[in-house]
Amino acid sequence: MSTALDPARARVASDTALLRAMYETMLRSREIDRVAGAADGHWHASEGEEAVLAACYCGLRDDDWVAPHYRGMLPAACARGADLRRLFAGLSGKTTSYSRGHYRSDVCAPVEHRMIGLYSGALGPTLEYATGAALAARLDGREAIAIAVFGDGTSSRGNAHEAINLAAVLKLPAVFVCQNNGFAISTPSASGVGARSVADRGAAYGIPGVAVDGNDVIALRAVLEVAIARARAGGGPTLVEARTYRVAGHLVADPAPYRSADEVAEWRSRDPIARLRSHLVGLGLLDDDADAALRARLRDEVDAAMAQAIADPDSGPEALAPGEVFAPARA
Ligand SMILES: Cc1ncc(C[n+]2csc(CCOP(=O)(O)OP(=O)(O)O)c2C)c(N)n1
């Protein structure tokens, strides 16, 4: 695995379209956190974890399946082409939401964009659904893959192990990415993961397990490109552990008294957005004016999407009748 990484890194570091798409996804995610966090104390912010979202959800094929972690679900859906106004409408059960009020959009992604949601409050099933999607992709014979993203806490669930094991046994075209932000609510990752690391568990499943700096979007994307190519080529799944940090509380209402301010400040200084910005400036792809214009455009877009969603009609009982809400789109 490591021998293939340096060329992958060099390719990613010079892929102008991908770098721009990832930067925009990261900035949009932070704007979404700003707006959704102000509206909802139960919001799970992704601040500091944006490199994982950008690396996992940009540059995939339209027929790939993605099963995102709930922390980053909306930026993931945007990267897949979903409409942010409809996603915001899904935070409060509006009729304009993708699920027409059936499910919250931050746990349940639009299936028409080949996205898999939690469909309940339980953590872990998304990995099983992703394994199923990878099996379907194999049967379709189109070299599509399924990518599942999940937290370090979720990685210790029984169904997570079953899903990765089955994908390994059947050599399915899947990539499992642990968005390891250091905590499961207030439990530090080191207290919840019995193995030396999440990546180390790859050996037990008989698949590559790769740990990578989750705040370095280029390094992470390079690891993912190798894993995705391996999956498409029939080589089976890879377990990637993206090591990052949950700068935000577990949810907006969490003051997170279980960690020190110094620890948070230290991780804030490793901001993944600032890191990619420096790279883009170094390549001559961005300057202060262009950056300010991009940030202003995204801020306006996100503000407008929330204002429209708030003005949208609430769904009533008639909207909750069984229908075609979750009929999967066939690309
Ligand atoms: C099966 C199950 N157990 C427990 C919970 C309660 N719960 C909700 S979020 C969460 C923390 C999950 O941590 P992690 O997977 O690391 O994701 P993070 O919130 O850190 O991004 C827990 C334990 C749940 N929703 N489902």
Per-residue pLDDT 10s for the chain (331 aa) are 455 779 999 999 999 999 999 999 999 999 999 999 999 999 999 999 999 999 999 999 999 999 999 999 999 999 999 999 999 999 998 999 998 888 889 999 999 999 999 988 899 999 999 999 999 999 999 899 999 999 999 999 999 999 999 999 999 999 999 999 999 999 999 999 988 899 999 999 999 999 999 999 999 999 999 999 999 999 999 999 999 999 999 999 999 999 999 999 999 999 999 999 999 999 999 999 999 999 999 999 999 999 999 999 998 877 667 665 554 444 4
Specify if 237 maps to a domain: yes
Specify if 136 maps to a domain: yes
Q: What is the CATH number of the domain that holds 249?
A: 3.40.50.970
Residue nearest to atom 21 of ligand 1 (CA): 151
The per-residue pLDDT for 320 is: 63
Domain tally for the chain? 1
Specify if 24 maps to a domain: yes
Specify if 96 maps to a domain: yes
Out of 107, 118, 154, 251, mutate this one to test ligand 1's pocket (max ligand atoms within 8 Å of CB): namely 154
Q: Find the 183 Cα to ligand 1 centroid distance in Å.
A: 9
Q: Find the 153 Cα to ligand 1 centroid distance in Å.
A: 6
| Closest atom of ligand 1 to CA, residue 184 | 13
Q: Which of 30, 70, 75, 44 is nearest to 57 (CA)?
A: 75
Q: Which amino acid is at 141?
A: G
Q: Contact at 8 Å (CB) between 72 and 101? A: no
Domain around 169: 2-309
Specify if 315 maps to a domain: no
Out of 33, 185, 191, 259, mutate this one to test ligand 1's pocket (max ligand atoms within 8 Å of CB): namely 185
Is the minimum distance from the CB of 225 to ligand 1 under 6 angstroms?
no
Is the minimum distance from the CB of 72 to ligand 1 under 6 angstroms?
no
Specify if 319 maps to a domain: no
Q: Find the 124 Cα to ligand 1 centroid distance in Å.
A: 9
The per-residue pLDDT for 194 is: 86
The per-residue pLDDT for 324 is: 53
Is the minimum distance from the CB of 181 to ligand 1 under 6 angstroms?
yes
Distances (CA, A) of 67 to 114, 209, 307: 9, 19, 28
Could you please report the per-residue DSSP string of 94-117?
Answer: BTTSTTTTSS-TTTS--GGGTB--
Specify if 318 maps to a domain: no
Specify if 32 maps to a domain: yes
